[in-house]
């Protein structure tokens, strides 16, 4: 998921002991199976992430995959708005598009950012 406020994007640095330790990520919600945009926006996990304001999916990007040694990651990136409704998720900070280029991300996010 790609939460944005104007030209800013929310990111955080992963600190857990996993293969993506010290890499940055956008706010995300993991699901055991694909869900529709409507199901995602209505989910308790989504509400906990963005707060109580009314939000919509402004742009949905095609699914991307990354093969890891033990699993395949299926990711969908969504641009959520409107910006006035989005609260900064806990633990995330807003960065500019220029600053995004200076941060380290997992391959699936790097590929997404490259277009």
Q: Provide the b/e sequence for 25-48 (b: ≥16 CB within 10 Å).
A: bbbbeeeeeeeeeeebbeeeebee
pLDDT in tens, 32-76: 888 998 898 889 998 888 877 778 888 889 999 999 888 889 999
Q: What is the CATH number of the domain that holds 25?
A: 3.90.79.10
What total number of domains does the chain contain? Answer: 1
The pLDDT confidence band at residue 1, using thresholds 50, 70 and 90, is low
Q: What is the pTM of this model?
A: 0.83
What domain range includes position 98?
2-114
């Amino acid at each position: 998921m790609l939460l944005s406020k104007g030209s800013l994007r929310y990111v955080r640095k992963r600190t857990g002991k996993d293969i993506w330790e010290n890499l940055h990520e956008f706010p995300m919600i993991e699901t055991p199976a694909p869900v529709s945009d409507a199901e995602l926006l209505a989910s308790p996990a989504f509400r906990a992430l963005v707060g109580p304001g009314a939000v919509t999916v402004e742009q949905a990007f095609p699914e991307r995959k990354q093969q890891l040694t033990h699993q395949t990651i299926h990711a969908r990136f969504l641009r959520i708005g409107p910006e006035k409704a989005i609260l900064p998720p806990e633990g995330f900070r807003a960065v500019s598009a220029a600053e995004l280029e200076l941060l380290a991300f997992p391959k699936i996010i790097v590929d997404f950012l490259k277009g």
